[in-house]
Structure 1
Amino acid sequence: MTPSAAPALDRWGFSTWLDHARGSGEFIKLPELDGVNDAVVSIEGRKLVNFSGIGILGWQHDPEVRKVFAATAAEYGLVVGGSRIIQGVSRPHLELEALVAEITGREKALTFATGMLANLGFVNAMSARFSFDNNAGVNNTDTVLVLDRECHWSMWKAAERFKFGRNLIMFDHNDTASLRSELEQLAGRKIVVGFEAVYSADGSMAPVAEILDLCEEFGAVSFVDDANGFMVYGNGGRRFAAEYEALRRATFLMVSFGKGVGLSGGALAGPADALDAFRFLSGTTVFTTNIQPPTAGAIVHVLRTMRRDPSIMANYLDRIDRLRERLLRIGCTINPTPTYVTSILVGPNDIAVNVRQEFIDRGYLVPMFGYPAVPKGRAVIRLLLNNRITDEQLDGFLDTLAELREKYRF
């Protein structure tokens, strides 16, 4: 066993666990990029075709986006200089928040440095007890949070202080009968129902309208994490149009700027008074800083570009449809919902470890999701295809996938 540099830590078991995980290959060496993140990356001087990124359209490489970023940096600087509540925010943030509110059909929006901070802040704000003068204030410590069991880690983390079974309830994934059963037992209580629109591990789409129908029937507040679907769907496209039209009925929405927009940060959108209260109650607007101003300016540019030309995303999604068809022809088991999140079942973790390494050996950085992102024994290759990957590079990946699938029988 590796000797600990701090003997007092021995009782925490880090070294023992790492020795085992390194020996089994489960504790992987993290990629250290020599240069920019792109469709092809350099790791230790070696070029790898990158299937592990999440910025699906590669907006960070667009010359106009870079020009806007540089111009905004020159005018507003690189940092906000402190938390929103103390330092305030810059014009690019206000412009971005107004645009997000307009796009999502909400009264107001509030930006955060990451989508995770938005989720943490939302749960904290909705369950806070706070008063400026010990008289008028809010006391929502009786809030009951009802979450889809596959909600993002950040939502479960935010709810750690809740008591499972008492004010933290789980319903079966995308199962409205399960949700109804839970809501019937909570009648009369102060309920927030949380779910995702598009789930990042299995690529499934929530039955949005049916869940929101139940929220309205039982008087529950609805919260939808749309980190994965924002600007991918619902911008005039035909795919999942009904789900995204129904999404406009949700009380609150969280959006991320990391996937469809391909930059960074997140936002909450909802009723104006609630969003104003969240500035004080979320915690994550009080005790940390916001998106960099030039990033906020660049996001505004990308959002306007995508709104003007929905064919940009439609053409990308056409490419995903063709990719799914080819995966099925190879014989892969993929997620049944035809979203742009493509999960290829690999199975046991030891096989997943070997498959990932073989891809690296052959020049491909492939995202392998194991436990706790997915259930044990159900590892998947989770693809968010970067549109800057060429057809030739994609062909090479698929040929390698077919070979490895035959070798490892997944």
Structure 2
Amino acid sequence: MTHPFAELDTALTELRAAHLARRRVIVEGVAGAHYRVDGRSLLAFCSNDYLGLAQHPALIEAAREGAARHGVGAGASPLVSGHSAAHEALEAELAAFVGLPRALYFGSGYVANIGLIPALVGRGDAVFSDALNHACLIDGVRLSRAEPHIYPHGDLAALEAQLAASPGRRKLVVTDAVFSMDGDVAPLPEMLRLCERFNAWLMIDDAHGFGVLGPDGRGTAAHFGIDSPRLIYMATLGKAAGSAGAFVAADPTMVEWLLQRARSYIFATATPAMVAETLRASLRVIASEGWRRERLQALVARLRAGTVDLPWSHPESATAIQPLIIGANEAALAAMQGLRERGLWVPAIRPPTVPDGTARLRISLSAAHTEADVDRLVTALHEIA
């Protein structure tokens, strides 16, 4: 009799042979950019905590006070009894922070996107997605059952042609604002002009721009100075904001529709109110401690100056995401291991997260890093190269 998991066991063996198998590590302690991993202290360049807020005293204190006041669980979905005064205040403050009329808070960016897109478009509609969009946008497109149109990365001419040819009843363009594996920024002003021309909505996922780009860290839309009723702005709060969750901000009618129709909002237990209180503190820190963004930009420049003579491609990126494209999966893993042996934690990113042949080291910089940290990384990269 065939073992019930024989096919899966064979597939796992094939993953390992192709150097595509993943494994988890246990992180036991964090001190700034230094992590204790499997019992060893490592200088980490793998976290999306871009402003170093996850350990900020103001956020920790807000979490403690929030837990004492509200407890540590929400108990039900937001539309039953899980929506607290803290959630209500957070949504108002998020909307004000990004300069849009109304906001809706979700438990995570993935949960938000797989709920937003199917709530906006369905059968008979059309959705247009950048070829390098994050998996949560891709999955949201698939779940929507709208007609999908995938345009080459950043190709405005291709997007224009697709919009012009589409007979879709509703048209939705979805894009990362800052692309998570390359660190480049989408041409949002030009995309918005296309949406206005072809009667489409523009939904942007600003997971890696919120808190980092724009005046006071108000995000990529503010960075470009764009504003339109057609704009649907989504950002996560577990990266630069240092805590957890995500939100969408848009026209009040749009947000009300999402509240009524986004299944991942309606049928999920609400995030604890203590998290909402933590995020309210985070918004205040993001706005007031501009030195964190200044340090981050200085570190980006320092890293890029140190990598110009490495044998690997270092695509243009002014954001905290700095990829070094190595190519082969095995070579990327060897580079990661070489850095690990030197006390540095930089993840090797392989397919299907990135296209075949573009395995890379994904360096994530943070305001928690120092110039000495970056210099240590640059030295180690030259040694293993």
TM class by shorter chain equals: over 0.9
2:137 matches 1:159: no
Are residue 375 (structure 1) and residue 355 (structure 2) matched? yes
Please tell me whether the aligned partners of residues 339 and 345 of structure 2 are also in contact (alpha carbons under 8 angstroms).
yes
Instruction: Find the structure with the greater CA-based Rg.
Output: 1
Which of 271, 281, 293 lines up with 1:291 in the alignment? 271
CA offset digits 1:85-116 (Å, max 9, x no partner): 11231122111111111122222111111011
Structure 1 CA distance for aligned equivalents of residues 8 and 89 of structure 2:
46
Q: How far off is 1:343 after superposition?
A: 0.9
The answer for the alignment partner of 1:260 in structure 2 is: 240
Look up the match of 2:308.
Answer: 328
From 100, 108, 115, give the equivalent of 1:106: 100
Secondary structure (helix, strand or coil) at the match of 1:120 reads helix
Deviations 1:12-66 (A, max 9, x none): x221122233345432432112234751122221111111111122212122221
Alignment check: 8 A CA contact 1:187 1:218 kept = no
Moved more, 114-123 or 229-238: 229-238
Number of aligned residue pairs:
385
Q: Which residue of 208, 229, 235 corresponds with 2:209?
A: 229
Relative to structure 1, the CA distance from residue 238 to residue 98 in structure 2 (aligned partners, 3 Å threshold; closer, same or farther) is closer
Aligned residue number for residue 135 of structure 1: none
Aligned ranges for residues 270-285 of structure 1 at < 5 Å?
A: 270-285=250-265
Secondary structure, counterpart of 1:18 in structure 2? helix
Deviations 1:230-278 (A, max 9, x none): 1211125799788531266652110111222122110011111221222
Structure 1 position 289, deviation (Å): 2.0
- Alpha-carbon distance, 1:205 to partner: 0.8
Question: Is the alpha carbon distance of 1:337 and 1:63 closer, same or farther for their aligned partners in structure 2, counting shifts above 3 Å?
Answer: closer
- Output aligned runs, 1:1-400, within 5 Å: 7-10=3-6, 13-23=7-17, 25-36=19-30, 38-127=32-121, 141-161=123-143, 167-187=147-167, 189-236=169-216, 243-246=223-226, 250-330=230-310, 332-400=312-380
Shift of 1:400: 1.1
Preserved contact between residue 109 and residue 270 of structure 1 (Cα < 8 Å): yes
Give the counterpart letter for 1:142 in structure 2: G
Paired letter, 1:380:
R
Amino acid aligned to 2:110:
M
Q: Call closer, same or farther: CA 1:41–1:310 in 2, change over 3 Å.
A: closer
Structure 1 Cα separation of the partners of residues 271 and 58 of structure 2? 20
Contact residue 202 and residue 341 of structure 1 kept, 8 A? yes
Deviates more, 1:56-65 or 1:368-377: 56-65
Q: Which runs of 5+ in 1 are unaligned?
A: 128-139, 406-410
* Aligned residues of 2:210 and 2:220 also touching (Cα < 8 A): no
Query: Is the CA contact (8 Å cut-off) linking 2:206 and 2:220 kept in structure 1?
Result: no
Q: What SS is found at the alignment partner of 1:160?
A: helix
Using the TM superposition, name which of 185-194 and 96-105 deviates more.
185-194
- 1:96-155 deviations in Å (ceiling 9; x for gaps): 11111112222211111101111111012113xxxxxxxxxxxx5322111111111011
Give the Cα separation in 2 of the matches to 1:305 and 1:196. Answer: 25
Q: State the shift of 1:305 in Å.
A: 2.1
- Identity across the alignment (%): 27
- Give the TM-score of the pair, scaled to structure 2: 0.93
RMSD over aligned Cα atoms: 2.4
- Provide the C-alpha distance between the structure 1 equivalents of 2:179 and 2:22, rounded to a whole number of angstroms: 25
CA positional deviation for 1:206: 0.8
Residue identity opposite 1:86 in structure 2: V
Distance 1:313 1:285, change over 3 A: same
Letter in 2 for 1:34: E
Query: Measured at CA, do residues 176 and 400 of structure 1 come closer, stay the same or move farther in structure 2, by a change above 3 Å?
Result: same
Identify if the C-alpha distance between structure 1 residues 331 and 325 changes in structure 2 by more than 3 Å, giving closer, same or farther.
farther
User: Contact between 1:85 and 1:280, CA under 8 Å: does it hold in 2?
Assistant: no
Summarize deviations over 1:267-302 as a string: whole Å, max 9, x none.
011111221222231101121123322221111111
Asked whether the 8 Å contact 2:45–2:363 carries over to 1, the reply is yes
Distance 2:220 2:245 in 1: 24
Gaps of 5+ in 2: none
Partners of 2:216 and 2:52 lie apart in 1 by 21
C-alpha distance in structure 1 between counterparts of 2:193 and 2:259, whole Å: 29
Query: Bigger CA drift: 293-302 or 173-182?
Result: 293-302
Q: Cα distance 1:207–1:252, how it changes in 2: closer, same or farther (>3 A)?
A: same
